A and B are shown apart, each in its own frame.
Chain A
Amino acid sequence: GNSVTQMEGPVTLSEEAFLTINCTYTATGYPSLFWYVQYPGEGLQLLLKATKADDKGSNKGFEATYRKETTSFHLEKGSVQVSDSAVYFCALSGVPQGAQKLVFGQGTRLTINP
C-alpha cells in the first residue's frame, strides 16, 4: 500500500540554522505530495505542495522538491526562526488515480531555540 516515512524527531535547532526534514514515500502511480504544519494547539495547515516530478513547492521560506527517482520530498529552510517551532507532516494523495485520501507520515516535531 501507499506509505510515507519521515525522519525521526524531535529535532532541535538554534535560530538561523539550516533545516532539513527528510521524507520518502512508497506509492503505485504518481502521487501529489504535501507538507503540512501543525502549530501548538491548532489544526494542520498546508505549508506547500507539488503535484508532479521535479516540481518545487515553496512557502514562508520553506522549499521541497518532488524527486521521483529517489521517491523523496525533503523539506528545507535556509534560516529557521523560533516561530517555526511546530510539528511537520509529510503526506501524499492522488493514488490510485484521483483518490482524495491523504496518507500521512508520523510527523516530526521541530523546536527552534533563540
Chain B
Amino acid sequence: NAGVTQTPKFRVLKTGQSMTLLCAQDMNHEYMYWYRQDPGMGLRLIHYSVGEGTTAKGEVPDGYNVSRLKKQNFLLGLESAAPSQTSVYFCASSRGSGTYEQYFGPGTRLTVT
C-alpha cells in the first residue's frame, strides 16, 4: 500500500516550458487535491476533484490545469511555466463525505528559471 505517490520528485524548467505532474493514490479515495507550498505562506489549494471526471478551482488556480480521467490519478499541468510557479507541489487525497482527513504525497520541487 503505497498511499499517495508523486512523479517527478524534482524538476527544473525554463520560462515558457510546459510540464505535467502526476499524482497517484491506491486508497480508492474519491477526493484529490493539488497544493503549492511557499515559504511563510503555508499550503494553498490550486485545484481539487471530488470524483473521477470532475475538477474544480481552489484558491490559486491561475496558470494551472488539471485532469482526473481515472479515479486513482490526478494530473497537474503547467502550460507555460513562469518563475512565480517555483514552489513545492503536494498532492493529497481523502475518502470523501464524512471524513476530512487528507493524506499527502511526498511533494515535487519545481524550479522555473
Contact = CB atoms under 8 A, between A and B. Distances in A.
- Most chain A C-beta atoms within 10 Å of own C-beta, residue among B43, B96, B105, B107: B43
B94 A100 contact: yes
A101 to B, nearest CB: 6
Interface in A38-55: 42-46, 49, 51
Contacts of A101: 33, 45, 48, 58
Interface string B5-38: 0000000000000000000000000010100000
A105 B42 CA distance: 6
B63 interface: no
Nearest to B50: A100
B42 A107 contact: yes
Contact of B104 (A32, A43, A93, A107): A43
Interface residue tally of chain B, by bracket?
Answer: 20 to 34
A43 B90 contact: yes
Nearest to A106: B42
Interface in A2-18: 4
Contacts of B53: none
A73 interface: no
B83 interface: no
Given A43-B90, A43-B105, A104 B42 contact: yes
Interface string A70-104: 00000000000000000001000110001011101
A50 B113 CA distance: 42
Nearest to A43: B104
A42 B106 contact: yes
30 contacts: A32-B100, A34-B101, A43-B90, A43-B104, A43-B106, A44-B90, A44-B92, A45-B104, A46-B101, A46-B102, A46-B103, A49-B100, A93-B100, A94-B100, A98-B97, A100-B48, A100-B50, A100-B96, A100-B102, A101-B33, A102-B33, A102-B45, A102-B102, A104-B43, A104-B44, A105-B42, A106-B40, A106-B41, A107-B40, A107-B42
Q: Which 10 A-B pairs have the closest CB atoms?
A: A104-B42, A43-B104, A93-B100, A44-B104, A106-B42, A43-B106, A104-B43, A32-B100, A100-B31, A43-B107
